Structure formats: C-alpha cells, structure tokens
Amino acid sequence: MMRKRLYVVSMIVAILIIGVVGIFLWSDEILKVLNFQKDSEELGGFDNGADGIVGGGSLNGEVDSAGNSGGNFGSGGETSEQTCTTSQIPYSLKNFEENIICHEENGGGCIDLTVNCSVEIYNLDKGFSGEFEIRYALLDSSENELEVKTLKNNVNFGEYELFMLDFRRSDIGGVSEDLSCFFSVVDVPKKESCV
C-alpha cells in the first residue's frame, strides 16, 4: 500500500515537473497569444476577416487629413494594396563630340589648349522631367584620367539638352594634343509607378 502511494506521488511530481518545464520552454509563445488577445480587445476587437489583418495601421503609409492611418477594415475584410516600383525614365544619348582647340603655340607645339566635350541627352518619357548627371573624364593617350568633371542639368520630358563642358590645359613646355573625352551617365531621374 505504501509502495502504491509512493508510486502515485512520484507520478504526480513527474507530471508537475514536466508541466513546469513545458511552461518554461513555451512561455514566449503563450505570452504572445495572451498579449495578442489583450491588444485585439484594446483596439476594439477587430476581426481578422479573410485577409488576415488584425488591428489598425497603415497598409501603404498613407495618412488622411485627420491624421488617421490608411487601410480598409470594413466588414468584408477587403483591402486595396498597391504594388509600386521605381525605375529610371527612358532616355537616349546622341551626338557625342570632342574638339581640341589650341590657343597658343610655342616652337611648333601647343602650350595652351581646350578640349571641348559634349553629348545630347533626350528625355524619352511621356510626362516626367528630371535632373541628369554626366561625368566627363579627360584622358591621355594611355587612357589615364587627367581630370574629371560632372555636369547636372534638368531635361524636360520629350525634349533634349546639350551637356557640354571644357577642359583647359596649359604648360610652357608644351601640352600633348593626344587627349580624349570619356563620359558616363552618373544619375538618371527615377519615377514611381503603382498598379
């Protein structure tokens, strides 16, 4: 009889230990469920409906004139989410030119010159204007960069702008005329499209 009681008491103790360990291991999950129910009641008991939304908040960061967050929490549970992407506007580059003008010679060689670099940028978008940025580099015969300049300009939609600048080189000992321009597009206007 004593053995039977000891067996029952040890089983109860084992069950209690397993229960305490289980509560300790899953306490985070239990608290999340309890807090979720508490938050839902404080927010007015929103029904999650078919879309799985619980509680208020902005679906797309919009706030109305009264300061309320966007989101449709009607009884049907329908929301209107937009998918937005950002992309560069379409453009075209045309008529790249470089001209070297010697301003002064000394002993048969040029000692003062200007290298003029230009390219036309056409904004091919149908309704968006923006600022383009071009990087020009003056290169020697070994294609080493001697000087770098950037140029920014706004290009209206459906129009083009000439991006032109000069590099001036002078040296009493003579300046190489074997120079060239290199350009790259650094920044293109971007627009957001939402569907």
Burial zone of 60 (CB within 10 Å; 0-12 exposed, 13-18 middle, 19+ buried): middle
Query: Does 131 score more than 50 pLDDT?
Result: yes
Domains of the chain: 2-82 (no CATH), 87-194 (2.60.40.10)
Average pLDDT over residues 128-132: 92
Are the C-beta atoms of 157 and 98 separated by less than 8 Å?
no
Where residue 11 falls (left for φ over 0; alpha for ψ -120 to 50; beta otherwise) is alpha
- pTM, two decimals, is 0.54
Phi, psi of 160 (to 5 degrees): -140, 160
pLDDT tens, residue by residue, 81-122: 889 999 999 999 999 999 999 988 887 788 899 999 999 999
- State the chain's mean pLDDT as an integer: 74
Residue 148: the pLDDT is 96
Question: Which helix (H) or strand (E) is 181 found in, with range?
Answer: strand 180-187
Which has more confidence, 99 or 26? 99
Which has more confidence, 54 or 150? 150
At which residue do the structure tokens 């923006």 appear?
130
